[in-house]
Amino acid sequence: MPDVISTTGTPYADGKILTHTADGVGVITFNNPDKRNAMSLEMWEGFGEALTALRDDDTVRVVILRGAGGKAFVSGADISQFEKVRHNAAASEQYAKRSAAQRALLADYPKPTIACIDGYCLGGGMQVAMLADIRLASHESQFGIPAAKLGIAYGYDGLRHLVSLVGPSWARLLMYTGMRIDSAEALRIGLVERVFPQGELWGETMAMAETIAQNAPLAIKAAKITIAQVLKDESRRDMEAIKVIGNACMDSVDFREGRQAFMEKRKPQFRGK
Ligand code: COA
Protein backbone atom coordinates (compact mmCIF):
# COMPACT_ATOMS: atom_id res chain seq x y z
CA MET A 1 0.00 0.00 0.00
CA PRO A 2 1.50 3.36 -0.91
CA ASP A 3 2.51 5.35 2.10
CA VAL A 4 2.34 8.60 0.21
CA ILE A 5 -0.13 10.67 2.13
CA SER A 6 -1.51 13.58 0.16
CA THR A 7 -0.32 16.95 1.32
CA THR A 8 -3.57 18.46 0.09
CA GLY A 9 -5.53 16.47 2.66
CA THR A 10 -6.83 17.78 5.95
CA PRO A 11 -5.20 16.67 9.22
CA TYR A 12 -7.19 15.98 12.40
CA ALA A 13 -6.03 15.02 15.90
CA ASP A 14 -2.59 16.61 15.35
CA GLY A 15 -2.13 14.74 12.07
CA LYS A 16 -2.92 11.33 13.56
CA ILE A 17 -6.02 11.23 11.40
CA LEU A 18 -5.61 12.32 7.76
CA THR A 19 -8.05 12.72 4.92
CA HIS A 20 -7.68 13.22 1.22
CA THR A 21 -10.00 12.97 -1.76
CA ALA A 22 -9.63 12.10 -5.44
CA ASP A 23 -12.12 11.22 -8.18
CA GLY A 24 -15.13 10.84 -5.92
CA VAL A 25 -13.22 8.75 -3.36
CA GLY A 26 -12.52 10.03 0.15
CA VAL A 27 -9.75 8.38 2.20
CA ILE A 28 -9.33 8.49 5.97
CA THR A 29 -5.92 7.32 7.22
CA PHE A 30 -5.28 6.30 10.84
CA ASN A 31 -1.81 7.72 11.19
CA ASN A 32 -0.17 6.69 14.45
CA PRO A 33 2.23 4.05 13.07
CA ASP A 34 4.61 4.10 16.07
CA LYS A 35 1.76 2.62 18.12
CA ARG A 36 0.42 0.47 15.28
CA ASN A 37 -2.31 3.09 14.80
CA ALA A 38 -3.72 2.61 18.33
CA MET A 39 -6.61 5.02 18.83
CA SER A 40 -6.39 7.67 21.55
CA LEU A 41 -9.56 9.55 22.51
CA GLU A 42 -8.26 12.52 20.53
CA MET A 43 -7.96 10.24 17.50
CA TRP A 44 -11.52 8.94 17.96
CA GLU A 45 -12.69 12.54 17.97
CA GLY A 46 -10.54 13.43 14.96
CA PHE A 47 -11.94 10.39 13.20
CA GLY A 48 -15.46 11.72 13.84
CA GLU A 49 -14.49 15.13 12.41
CA ALA A 50 -12.96 13.47 9.34
CA LEU A 51 -16.07 11.35 8.77
CA THR A 52 -18.25 14.44 9.06
CA ALA A 53 -16.10 16.43 6.62
CA LEU A 54 -16.19 13.70 3.98
CA ARG A 55 -19.90 13.11 4.56
CA ASP A 56 -20.56 16.79 3.85
CA ASP A 57 -18.28 16.94 0.80
CA ASP A 58 -20.58 16.52 -2.20
CA THR A 59 -17.71 15.41 -4.43
CA VAL A 60 -17.14 12.32 -2.24
CA ARG A 61 -19.23 9.26 -3.09
CA VAL A 62 -17.40 6.54 -1.19
CA VAL A 63 -15.01 6.52 1.77
CA ILE A 64 -12.01 4.22 2.35
CA LEU A 65 -10.57 3.69 5.85
CA ARG A 66 -6.95 2.57 6.13
CA GLY A 67 -3.96 2.53 8.46
CA ALA A 68 -0.56 4.13 7.82
CA GLY A 69 2.77 2.40 8.20
CA GLY A 70 2.14 -0.96 6.52
CA LYS A 71 1.93 -2.88 9.82
CA ALA A 72 -1.56 -2.22 11.13
CA PHE A 73 -5.03 -1.04 10.27
CA VAL A 74 -5.75 -0.13 13.90
CA SER A 75 -4.30 -2.06 16.87
CA GLY A 76 -7.22 -1.09 19.11
CA ALA A 77 -7.78 1.62 21.64
CA ASP A 78 -4.61 3.24 23.03
CA ILE A 79 -4.05 1.14 26.15
CA SER A 80 -1.62 3.71 27.58
CA GLN A 81 -4.59 6.05 28.16
CA PHE A 82 -6.59 3.48 30.12
CA GLU A 83 -5.04 4.16 33.55
CA LYS A 84 -6.19 7.76 33.31
CA VAL A 85 -9.45 7.63 31.38
CA ARG A 86 -10.77 4.04 31.48
CA HIS A 87 -9.79 2.65 34.90
CA ASN A 88 -13.22 1.75 36.32
CA ALA A 89 -16.89 1.48 35.33
CA ALA A 90 -17.70 5.20 35.68
CA ALA A 91 -14.60 6.36 33.77
CA SER A 92 -15.17 3.64 31.22
CA GLU A 93 -18.71 4.84 30.60
CA GLN A 94 -17.47 8.36 29.88
CA TYR A 95 -14.71 7.00 27.67
CA ALA A 96 -17.15 4.75 25.81
CA LYS A 97 -19.55 7.66 25.25
CA ARG A 98 -16.87 9.78 23.63
CA SER A 99 -15.57 7.06 21.33
CA ALA A 100 -19.02 5.53 20.65
CA ALA A 101 -20.32 8.89 19.41
CA GLN A 102 -17.74 8.75 16.61
CA ARG A 103 -18.47 5.11 15.78
CA ALA A 104 -22.18 5.97 15.63
CA LEU A 105 -21.35 8.38 12.80
CA LEU A 106 -19.81 5.48 10.90
CA ALA A 107 -22.70 3.13 11.75
CA ASP A 108 -25.20 5.59 10.25
CA TYR A 109 -22.94 6.85 7.47
CA PRO A 110 -24.92 7.84 4.39
CA LYS A 111 -22.15 6.93 1.92
CA PRO A 112 -20.61 3.52 1.23
CA THR A 113 -17.49 2.71 3.26
CA ILE A 114 -14.63 0.25 2.69
CA ALA A 115 -12.09 -0.84 5.32
CA CYS A 116 -8.72 -1.49 3.66
CA ILE A 117 -6.90 -3.69 6.19
CA ASP A 118 -3.15 -4.22 5.92
CA GLY A 119 -1.72 -5.70 9.11
CA TYR A 120 -3.10 -5.87 12.63
CA CYS A 121 -6.81 -5.23 13.05
CA LEU A 122 -7.49 -5.64 16.75
CA GLY A 123 -10.03 -4.64 19.40
CA GLY A 124 -11.41 -1.19 18.57
CA GLY A 125 -9.86 -1.59 15.10
CA MET A 126 -12.14 -4.56 14.54
CA GLN A 127 -15.04 -2.43 15.70
CA VAL A 128 -14.22 0.20 13.07
CA ALA A 129 -13.67 -2.42 10.35
CA MET A 130 -16.90 -4.22 11.20
CA LEU A 131 -18.84 -0.96 10.94
CA ALA A 132 -17.57 -0.40 7.40
CA ASP A 133 -19.79 -1.73 4.63
CA ILE A 134 -17.05 -3.88 3.06
CA ARG A 135 -13.72 -5.24 4.35
CA LEU A 136 -10.75 -5.94 2.05
CA ALA A 137 -7.49 -7.22 3.54
CA SER A 138 -3.91 -8.15 2.65
CA HIS A 139 -2.75 -11.75 3.10
CA GLU A 140 -0.51 -10.58 5.96
CA SER A 141 -3.32 -9.21 8.14
CA GLN A 142 -4.30 -10.50 11.58
CA PHE A 143 -7.62 -10.09 13.32
CA GLY A 144 -8.66 -10.40 16.94
CA ILE A 145 -10.47 -8.93 19.90
CA PRO A 146 -8.21 -9.38 22.93
CA ALA A 147 -10.80 -8.01 25.40
CA ALA A 148 -10.56 -11.12 27.60
CA LYS A 149 -6.79 -10.68 27.81
CA LEU A 150 -7.24 -7.15 29.13
CA GLY A 151 -10.37 -7.60 31.26
CA ILE A 152 -12.55 -5.43 29.04
CA ALA A 153 -16.26 -5.91 28.25
CA TYR A 154 -16.52 -5.37 24.49
CA GLY A 155 -20.05 -3.93 24.49
CA TYR A 156 -23.30 -4.48 22.63
CA ASP A 157 -22.59 -2.70 19.35
CA GLY A 158 -19.26 -4.37 18.70
CA LEU A 159 -20.60 -7.83 19.49
CA ARG A 160 -23.77 -7.31 17.49
CA HIS A 161 -21.69 -6.68 14.38
CA LEU A 162 -19.34 -9.54 15.13
CA VAL A 163 -22.25 -11.99 15.57
CA SER A 164 -23.97 -10.77 12.42
CA LEU A 165 -20.77 -11.27 10.38
CA VAL A 166 -19.36 -14.53 11.76
CA GLY A 167 -22.23 -16.07 13.76
CA PRO A 168 -22.44 -16.73 17.51
CA SER A 169 -20.01 -19.69 17.66
CA TRP A 170 -17.07 -17.92 16.06
CA ALA A 171 -17.93 -14.80 18.05
CA ARG A 172 -17.67 -16.84 21.26
CA LEU A 173 -14.45 -18.52 20.16
CA LEU A 174 -12.82 -15.18 19.33
CA MET A 175 -14.07 -13.49 22.50
CA TYR A 176 -13.38 -16.33 24.98
CA THR A 177 -9.85 -17.00 23.74
CA GLY A 178 -8.79 -13.51 22.57
CA MET A 179 -7.04 -15.41 19.74
CA ARG A 180 -5.78 -13.81 16.56
CA ILE A 181 -6.75 -15.26 13.20
CA ASP A 182 -5.11 -14.72 9.83
CA SER A 183 -6.69 -13.39 6.64
CA ALA A 184 -7.44 -16.84 5.22
CA GLU A 185 -9.49 -17.73 8.28
CA ALA A 186 -11.10 -14.28 8.40
CA LEU A 187 -12.16 -14.78 4.78
CA ARG A 188 -13.50 -18.25 5.47
CA ILE A 189 -15.68 -17.16 8.41
CA GLY A 190 -17.03 -14.07 6.64
CA LEU A 191 -15.18 -11.41 8.59
CA VAL A 192 -13.61 -10.01 5.41
CA GLU A 193 -14.92 -10.16 1.86
CA ARG A 194 -11.71 -10.36 -0.18
CA VAL A 195 -7.99 -10.90 0.45
CA PHE A 196 -5.14 -9.71 -1.80
CA PRO A 197 -1.34 -9.81 -1.81
CA GLN A 198 -0.04 -6.81 0.12
CA GLY A 199 1.25 -5.09 -3.02
CA GLU A 200 -2.13 -5.29 -4.70
CA LEU A 201 -4.42 -4.35 -1.81
CA TRP A 202 -4.42 -0.60 -2.30
CA GLY A 203 -4.94 -0.77 -6.07
CA GLU A 204 -7.77 -3.28 -5.68
CA THR A 205 -9.40 -1.16 -2.96
CA MET A 206 -9.20 1.99 -5.10
CA ALA A 207 -10.57 0.12 -8.12
CA MET A 208 -13.54 -1.08 -6.08
CA ALA A 209 -14.09 2.41 -4.66
CA GLU A 210 -13.98 3.95 -8.13
CA THR A 211 -16.51 1.42 -9.42
CA ILE A 212 -18.83 2.33 -6.56
CA ALA A 213 -18.20 6.06 -7.11
CA GLN A 214 -19.23 5.75 -10.76
CA ASN A 215 -22.46 3.87 -10.01
CA ALA A 216 -25.77 5.60 -9.28
CA PRO A 217 -25.54 7.12 -5.76
CA LEU A 218 -29.27 6.84 -5.04
CA ALA A 219 -29.35 3.16 -6.01
CA ILE A 220 -26.41 2.52 -3.67
CA LYS A 221 -28.10 4.52 -0.92
CA ALA A 222 -31.27 2.46 -1.40
CA ALA A 223 -29.25 -0.76 -1.01
CA LYS A 224 -27.44 0.59 2.03
CA ILE A 225 -30.62 1.71 3.79
CA THR A 226 -32.51 -1.48 2.95
CA ILE A 227 -29.72 -3.84 4.08
CA ALA A 228 -29.43 -1.89 7.36
CA GLN A 229 -33.16 -2.36 7.93
CA VAL A 230 -32.94 -6.09 7.11
CA LEU A 231 -30.39 -6.42 9.94
CA LYS A 232 -32.75 -4.87 12.50
CA ASP A 233 -35.36 -6.75 14.51
CA GLU A 234 -38.58 -6.85 12.51
CA SER A 235 -40.38 -4.73 15.11
CA ARG A 236 -37.79 -1.96 14.74
CA ARG A 237 -37.59 -1.88 10.94
CA ASP A 238 -38.33 1.41 9.21
CA MET A 239 -40.14 0.17 6.12
CA GLU A 240 -41.14 3.76 5.31
CA ALA A 241 -37.47 4.74 4.90
CA ILE A 242 -37.08 1.94 2.35
CA LYS A 243 -40.13 3.16 0.47
CA VAL A 244 -38.97 6.80 0.48
CA ILE A 245 -35.52 6.02 -0.92
CA GLY A 246 -37.03 3.54 -3.39
CA ASN A 247 -39.34 6.23 -4.76
CA ALA A 248 -36.56 8.83 -4.87
CA CYS A 249 -34.44 6.39 -6.82
CA MET A 250 -37.08 5.34 -9.32
CA ASP A 251 -38.12 8.99 -9.91
CA SER A 252 -34.52 10.15 -10.30
CA VAL A 253 -32.79 11.78 -13.27
CA ASP A 254 -30.11 9.13 -12.79
CA PHE A 255 -32.57 6.29 -13.46
CA ARG A 256 -33.46 7.97 -16.75
CA GLU A 257 -29.76 8.44 -17.50
CA GLY A 258 -29.09 4.77 -16.68
CA ARG A 259 -31.80 3.61 -19.09
CA GLN A 260 -30.73 5.98 -21.85
CA ALA A 261 -27.04 5.17 -21.51
CA PHE A 262 -27.82 1.45 -21.77
CA MET A 263 -29.89 1.96 -24.93
CA GLU A 264 -27.24 4.27 -26.45
CA LYS A 265 -24.46 1.83 -25.51
CA ARG A 266 -22.46 4.43 -23.60
CA LYS A 267 -21.25 4.88 -20.03
CA PRO A 268 -23.82 6.59 -17.78
CA GLN A 269 -22.99 9.87 -16.04
CA PHE A 270 -24.73 9.76 -12.67
CA ARG A 271 -25.27 12.85 -10.54
CA GLY A 272 -27.04 11.49 -7.46
CA LYS A 273 -30.30 13.20 -8.40
N1 COA B 1 -2.26 0.80 22.68
C2 COA B 1 -1.13 1.46 22.98
N3 COA B 1 0.05 1.19 22.45
C4 COA B 1 0.11 0.21 21.55
C5 COA B 1 -1.03 -0.52 21.17
C6 COA B 1 -2.27 -0.20 21.77
N7 COA B 1 -3.39 -0.81 21.46
N8 COA B 1 -0.65 -1.44 20.25
C9 COA B 1 0.67 -1.27 20.06
N10 COA B 1 1.13 -0.29 20.86
C11 COA B 1 2.50 0.20 20.95
C12 COA B 1 3.39 -0.75 21.74
O13 COA B 1 3.24 -0.53 23.13
C14 COA B 1 4.76 -0.40 21.23
O15 COA B 1 5.17 0.79 21.87
P16 COA B 1 6.75 1.01 22.25
O17 COA B 1 7.43 1.10 20.91
O18 COA B 1 6.74 2.30 23.01
O19 COA B 1 7.15 -0.18 23.06
C20 COA B 1 4.49 -0.04 19.78
O21 COA B 1 3.09 0.21 19.69
C22 COA B 1 4.80 -1.17 18.83
O23 COA B 1 4.18 -2.32 19.32
P24 COA B 1 4.92 -3.73 19.40
O25 COA B 1 4.13 -4.59 20.33
O26 COA B 1 6.36 -3.54 19.70
O27 COA B 1 4.76 -4.18 17.88
P28 COA B 1 4.50 -5.61 17.27
O29 COA B 1 4.48 -5.41 15.82
O30 COA B 1 5.44 -6.61 17.85
O31 COA B 1 3.03 -6.03 17.79
C32 COA B 1 0.67 -5.70 18.20
C33 COA B 1 1.91 -5.30 17.39
C34 COA B 1 -0.45 -4.79 17.72
C35 COA B 1 0.32 -7.19 17.96
C36 COA B 1 0.93 -5.53 19.72
O37 COA B 1 1.48 -4.25 19.93
C38 COA B 1 -0.30 -5.66 20.57
O39 COA B 1 -0.70 -6.78 20.92
N40 COA B 1 -0.92 -4.50 20.93
C41 COA B 1 -2.09 -4.47 21.77
C42 COA B 1 -3.33 -4.88 21.01
C43 COA B 1 -4.54 -4.85 21.89
O44 COA B 1 -4.60 -5.45 22.95
N45 COA B 1 -5.58 -4.14 21.42
C46 COA B 1 -6.82 -4.02 22.09
C47 COA B 1 -6.87 -2.76 22.86
S48 COA B 1 -8.43 -2.57 23.62
Tens-digit pLDDT profile for residues 124-181: 999 999 999 999 999 999 999 999 999 999 989 899 999 999 999 999 999 999 999 9
Q: Given a cut of 70, is residue 7 above it in pLDDT?
A: no
Q: Please report the sign of the dihedral spanned by the C-alpha atoms of residue 68, residue 71, residue 73, residue 78.
A: negative
pLDDT band at 66 (very low <50, low <70, confident <90, very high): very high
**Could you read off the pLDDT of 200-253 as tens digits, one per residue?**
999 999 999 999 999 999 999 999 999 999 999 999 999 999 999 999 999 999
Q: Given a cut of 90, is residue 1 above it in pLDDT?
A: no
Mean pLDDT of the residues in the chain: 94
Average pLDDT over residues 9-14: 91
Count of structural domains within the chain: 2
- Do 168 and 259 lie in one domain? The reply is no
Q: From the CB of 16, is ligand 1 less than 6 Å away?
A: no
Q: From the CB of 61, is ligand 1 less than 6 Å away?
A: no
117 assigned to some structural domain: yes
Nearest Cα to Cα of residue 22 among 60, 70, 77, 50: 60
Distance 186 CA to ligand 1 centre (A): 21
The residue contributing the CA closest to ligand 1 atom 12 is: 35
**Which residues, 6+ apart, have CB-to-CB distance to 221 below 8 Å?**
110, 245, 249
Distance 75 CA to ligand 1 centre (A): 7
Average pLDDT over residues 183-208: 98
Residues 155 and 132 sit within 8 Å (Cβ to Cβ)? no
- Do 197 and 221 lie in one domain? The reply is no
272 assigned to some structural domain: no
Q: From the CB of 118, is ligand 1 less than 6 Å away?
A: no
User: Which of 16-20, 28-32, 157-161, 219-223 shows the lowest mean pLDDT across its residues?
Assistant: 157-161
If you write DSSP's letter for every residue of 112-145 in order, what string do you get?
A: -EEEEE-SEEETHHHHHHHHSSEEEEETT-EEE-
pLDDT band at 15 (very low <50, low <70, confident <90, very high): very high
pLDDT at 147: 96
Quote the percentage of the chain above a pLDDT of 90.
Answer: 87
Instruction: Give the span between the Cα atoms of 18 and 30, in whole angstroms.
Output: 7
Distance 36 CA to ligand 1 centre (A): 6
Q: Given a cut of 70, is residue 88 above it in pLDDT?
A: yes
pLDDT band at 5 (very low <50, low <70, confident <90, very high): very low
- Do 178 and 235 lie in one domain? The reply is no
- Do 226 and 241 lie in one domain? The reply is yes
- Do 173 and 250 lie in one domain? The reply is no
1 assigned to some structural domain: no
Distance 35 CA to ligand 1 centre (A): 6
4 assigned to some structural domain: no
Q: From the CB of 96, is ligand 1 less than 6 Å away?
A: no
- Do 145 and 227 lie in one domain? The reply is no
pLDDT band at 90 (very low <50, low <70, confident <90, very high): confident
Q: Given a cut of 60, is residue 6 above it in pLDDT?
A: no
Q: Which CATH number covers residue 194? A: 3.90.226.10
Q: From the CB of 75, is ligand 1 less than 6 Å away?
A: yes
Q: Given a cut of 70, is residue 4 above it in pLDDT?
A: no
User: Ligand 1: which of 30, 32, 35, 36 to mutate, judged by most atoms within 8 Å of the beta carbon?
Assistant: 36
- Do 187 and 256 lie in one domain? The reply is no
Beta strand 180-182 pairing with 142-144: antiparallel
Beta strand 62-67 pairing with 72-74: unpaired
Average pLDDT over residues 182-190: 98
Distance 169 CA to ligand 1 centre (A): 27
102 assigned to some structural domain: yes
**Which of ligand 1's atoms lies nearest the C-alpha of 152?**
48
Q: From the CB of 268, is ligand 1 less than 6 Å away?
A: no
- Do 95 and 205 lie in one domain? The reply is yes
- Do 54 and 161 lie in one domain? The reply is yes
Distance 80 CA to ligand 1 centre (A): 10
64 assigned to some structural domain: yes
Q: From the CB of 77, is ligand 1 less than 6 Å away?
A: yes
Instruction: Give the span between the Cα atoms of 97 and 104, in whole angstroms.
Output: 10
Q: Residue 242 sits in which domain range?
A: 217-263
- Do 223 and 129 lie in one domain? The reply is no
Q: From the CB of 43, is ligand 1 less than 6 Å away?
A: no
pLDDT at 144: 98
120 assigned to some structural domain: yes
Q: Given a cut of 80, is residue 2 above it in pLDDT?
A: no
- Do 247 and 203 lie in one domain? The reply is no
- Do 152 and 226 lie in one domain? The reply is no
Distance 142 CA to ligand 1 centre (A): 13
* pTM assigned to the model: 0.94
179 assigned to some structural domain: yes
The residue contributing the CA closest to ligand 1 atom 40 is: 75
Instruction: Compute the C-alpha angle 244/248/249, nearest 5°.
Output: 115
Average pLDDT over residues 185-202: 98
